[in-house]
Structure 1
Amino acid sequence: MSGPFKDARKTTYLNSEGSNRPLVSPIPGAVLDTARAYRLGRLRDQIARHDVAGLLLYDPVNIRYAFDVSNMQVWTAHNPMRYALILAGGPAILFEFKGCEHLAQGLPGIDEVRTAITYMFMSRGDQTRGFVEDWADEIADLVRSHGGGNMRLAADKLDINAPPALAERGISLVDGAELAETARAIKSPEEIQLMRWTIRVCEAGMARIYEHSLPGVTEQELWAHLHFENARSGGDWLETKLLTAGPNTNPWYRECSHRPVRAGEMISFDTDMIGPYGYCADLSRSWVCGYEPMNQTQRRLYRTALDQIEHNLALLVPGRDFAEFNEKSWRIPEKHIDYRYSLAVHGVGMADEWPVVPLHVDWTNRAMAGRFEPGMVLCVESLIAEKGTESIKLETQVLITETGAERLDSFPWEDV
């Protein structure tokens, strides 16, 4: 369908060779290798700063950040079958799922690959305890060999059986999630190149959604276009299923369904896309099905959401702390409060990351401390609705520079 209200700016994000071809990254391998070295260096810096013998990683996103090895990441997010250990002043070791050791070939940050000792009940049943003992023996031996007497080990996430077994061997655990999140927060220029490419792929997927935003299409069909573009262009997965239309948009957080979308209804979505190179494109847009103009209510809500984005974006300057940002942030009108998004700003890298700055009405004396720094990438959020209306969801991804904030996405807002 074409019509007078179809926005040709959006279709320019499809592959210039036509939407029938995947996007092919132009980024040279040297950029990727530099990013890999930087990321591993950031983790080693945190290991030294926290005076731990090493960092044990089970979160597949943290493993990808450390080593850039990708293997069954969604599956291993809930099945702890592979892990990594970075030792202070010692080797960086990947413990890979049996039979997958070859996947690490050629990756420069990995000093050694071993077969993982898995001990979860699903794979070991009533033999779990013995495998926990074997696993703990191996980890403890490595810490003793390379820790110089330091028996403090940082770990990001461990199965319930693991900490007692390490404690029996004299190992004291430290929260490794803090180390990993802090390391990941500041991106190198090369990381930004990789993230820009993920955003390019995401915006091609958004353009496909727009091209198919026609009456009768289901929410699930629209969502599939983002999956398709991401998968065929080398991306990984989508973290959520947040695309809805019409009455399904309010309240927010319904997942996409088989409901057909009707002409004139608002389509709202949040990409949460883990794309090429493992980086996240976390963008939100809203537009009307069938390329029709917004009605008066839709336009008013959209303008309000865009006001929030623009106001808060202007506050993102290096050195500003989160409390000051909160004090100066956009104030949501009373009629929208019950339908709000609880976050004003959050970090993003290989997934949603630290920091998280609440919306002003959700700010308390327990909100996290910190300040915006050059190299951080943040998402600026807005969700605007009121009783009986649709929801408008907008979100942009920005880099904190030495002087302010630079938007990394450019997919057009609606004209209001």
Structure 2
Amino acid sequence: MRVPAGSMRSGHLRGASPVLDIDSGAASNPAAAEWEAAGLRAPDMDAVRSWRLQQLRQQLEAEDLAGIVLFDPLNIRYATDATNMQVWTTHNPVRYAFVATDGPVVLFDLARCEHLVEHLPLIDEVRPATGWFFFENGPREAEAADRWADEIADLVRSHGRGSLRVGLDKCESLGLAALQRRGLDTVATMRTAELARYRKHPEEIAAMRRAVHAGQQAVWEMWHALEPGITEAQLWSQLHAGNIARGGEWVETRLLSSGPRTNPWFAECSHRVIEAGDLVCFDTDLIGPYGYAVDMSRSWVTPGREPTSQQQSLHSLGCEVLAHNCALLEPGLTFREFAERSYQLPDRYLPNRYADIAHGLGLSTEYPMIHYIQDWDAYGYDGVIEDSVVMCLEVYVGEPGGPVGVKLENQIYVADNGAEVLDTFPMSLTPH
């Protein structure tokens, strides 16, 4: 069933129930009182949605594209704000959207899910998706891919202003070949979406402030739960519970480790029992309210023993690195200049250095990723830090073979008037 523009409103679809956004029913959301107490106003999500679609279309115009087909759930959300089983659809490509550079926004979703987008006025049409992956179609996947390609090709010919040049953020080879057989000039355009998402509207920052605050409340709940005898997994579950209860959505990684498991970094949380005086390091990597990411790292000492001199030394160096690098952030600085001027870790810590010194953030980890200068020739790429972007600064400090390591990260809003640290949770081994 095709649902045209103007028909997706509460009460129009038989049996449809109103879709509540994050601010609806605020009295029942524990974050509502916390946001009010912190003086954090609600973002204007209509302004956010209009800005994001405008940014995407400006990028499509700049790259001379008739339109773009989006499969990545975060890109679909950026363009439409429509969500449906976000984690599951990262590996089951059953939803997609077509955004014409100068024409309609068409969302293809699971059948009988039109009610999920009744509140989103920028979607011109909703159609049932044609999934053509193996799970859904088995040996008939090529047949399904042809049906899918017929519909996409028709949209491009109808709304492409005479152009057959269409972008796709992600597409398996079967579908790509089907589009090309129909005469479309297909272009890989994950970069298009990433560049569109780079700069943030002030109302996006308002949404992100609320997401960060909610995430930090969950981090406080982790700290209050930390005591000898709790397992890493039990402690990590506090972050999940606090995020979900406040309208957050999911946590992308399992990066929490304790004691000897903190060196090297990237050990996922386990059932190890945390002991008094253990170092505990974590990276939130969560998707919070409004779909915005909260990406902060802290390292704590488990109550019951005082921090050791080694724990204090590693932590102090990590804090020094972040403070130095934060002071560098300003619009107009190139990525390479930032890498060259960033804090240079002592040689003994370089072999275990983190993958990047900074990266962008929005609906998740986003462009750019700025590498250490030592890795520049192998992986680095240049660009410019612009105004109204959000960057995360990261550092890991731990010697190869050392007993422990420290992971720290701040989430920074870069504007014309300077850099602002959005996460205000204490940068302390024993926060209070």
Normalised TM-score (structure 1): 0.93
| Counterpart for residue 18 of structure 2 | none
SS at match of 1:364: helix
Residues 346 and 356 in structure 1, CA contact (< 8 A), matched pair in contact too: yes
Q: Within the alignment, does 1:218 sit opposite 2:244 as a pair? A: no
C-alpha change, 1:167 and 1:22, in structure 2 (3 Å) is same
The Cα of 1:129 is off from its aligned counterpart by 1.4
Contact (CA 8 Å) 1:318, 1:403: kept in 2 or not? Answer: no
Q: What's the offset of the Cα at 1:365?
A: 6.1
8 Å contact 2:315–2:429 — kept in the other structure? no
Counterpart Cα distance in 2 of 1:254 and 1:30: 36
| Structure 1: 4+ residue segments shifted above 4 A | 25-30
1:397–1:29 Cα change, 3 Å: closer
Residues 380 and 396 of structure 1 are in contact (CA less than 8 Å); yes or no, is this contact kept in structure 2? yes
Preserved contact between residue 22 and residue 229 of structure 1 (Cα < 8 Å) = no
Aligned to 2:292: 279
Write the letter of the residue equivalent to 1:125.
G
Q: CA separation in 2, counterparts of 1:371 and 1:140?
A: 36
For residues 223-267 of structure 1, the C-alpha deviation after alignment (integer angstroms, 9 at most, x for no partner) is 000100111111111010001100111111111001110000100
Distance of 1:287 and 1:336 partners within structure 2: 20
Give matches, 1:36-47, under 5 Å. 36-47=49-60
Which of 410, 419, 424 is the equivalent residue of 1:405? 419
TM, length-normalised to structure 2: 0.89
| Equivalent AA in structure 2 for residue 338 of structure 1 | P
Matching residue of 1:391: 405
**1:88 corresponds to which residue?**
101
1:113 aligns with 2:113: no
Between the aligned partners of 1:352 and 1:91, the Cα distance in structure 2 is: 28
In the superposition, relative to structure 1, how do residues 394 and 94 fare at CA in structure 2: closer, same or farther (>3 Å)?
Answer: same
- Is it true that 1:265 corresponds to 2:278 in the alignment? yes
Which one of 28, 31, 38 corresponds to residue 23 of structure 1? 31
Specify the code of the residue in structure 1 equivalent to 2:314: L
1:160-199 → structure 2 map (5 Å cutoff): 160-199=173-212
Q: Please name the residue that 2:12 is paired with.
A: none
Return the offset for 1:47. 1.1
Which residue of the other structure, out of 129, 135, 140, is the alignment partner of 1:122?
135
- Among 232, 251, 266, the alignment partner of 1:238 is 251
Aligned-pair distance for 1:161?
Answer: 0.7
Displacement of 1:127 in angstroms is 1.4
Displacement, 1:29?
6.8
2:366 to 349, 353, 376: 353
How far, CA to CA, are the matches of 1:82 and 1:127 in structure 2?
A: 18
Secondary structure of 1:162 counterpart:
helix
- The answer to which of 358-367 and 153-162 deviates more is 358-367
Alignment counterpart, residue 168 of structure 2, candidates 127, 131, 155 = 155
Q: What secondary structure, in the 3-state scheme, does the structure 2 residue paired with 1:353 have?
A: strand
Q: Return the alpha-carbon distance in structure 2 between the equivalents of residues 280 and 359 of structure 1.
A: 23
Give distance in 1, aligned partners of 2:121 and 2:43. 12
Partner of 1:321: 334
Shift of 1:30: 6.6
Aligned residues: 397
Paired residue secondary structure (1:197)? helix
**8 Å CA contact 1:54, 1:147 repeated in 2:** yes
**Match of 1:22, as an amino acid?**
P
Identity %: 43
1:286–1:394: 8 Å Cα contact kept in structure 2? Answer: yes
1:120-150: per-residue Cα shift (whole Å, max 9, x none)? 1100011111111110000001100111210
Alignment match, 1:201: 214
Letter in 2 for 1:103: L
Task: Give the structure 2 partner of residue 376 of structure 1.
Answer: 389
Q: Does 1:97 align with 2:107?
A: no
Give the alignment of 1:49-88 within 5 angstroms. 49-88=62-101
Inter-partner Cα distance in structure 2 for 1:257 and 1:37:
43
Aligned counterpart, 1:11 = none
Query: Relative to structure 1, is the Cα distance of residues 153 and 300 closer, same or farther in structure 2, using a 3 angstrom cutoff?
Result: same
Tell me if the contact between 2:41 and 2:206 (Cα under 8 Å) persists in the aligned partners.
no
Superposed CA deviations along residues 138-179 of structure 1, whole A, max 9, x for unmatched, are: 000110011121000011001221110000011111122111
What residue in structure 2 maps to residue 138 of structure 1? 151
Shift of 1:202: 0.8
Cα deviation, residue 366, structure 1? 4.7
**2:274 & 2:61 partners in 1: Cα distance?**
54
Query: 1:292 and 1:36, CA in 2 relative to 1: closer, same or farther beyond 3 A?
Result: farther
The alignment yields a C-alpha RMSD, in angstroms, of: 1.6
Letter in 1 for 2:311: Q
Whether the 8 Å contact between 1:53 and 1:87 is mirrored in structure 2 is yes
Quote the Cα distance in structure 2 between the aligned partners of 1:401 and 1:325.
16
1:98 shift after superposition: 1.6
State the SS of the aligned residue for 2:261.
Answer: helix
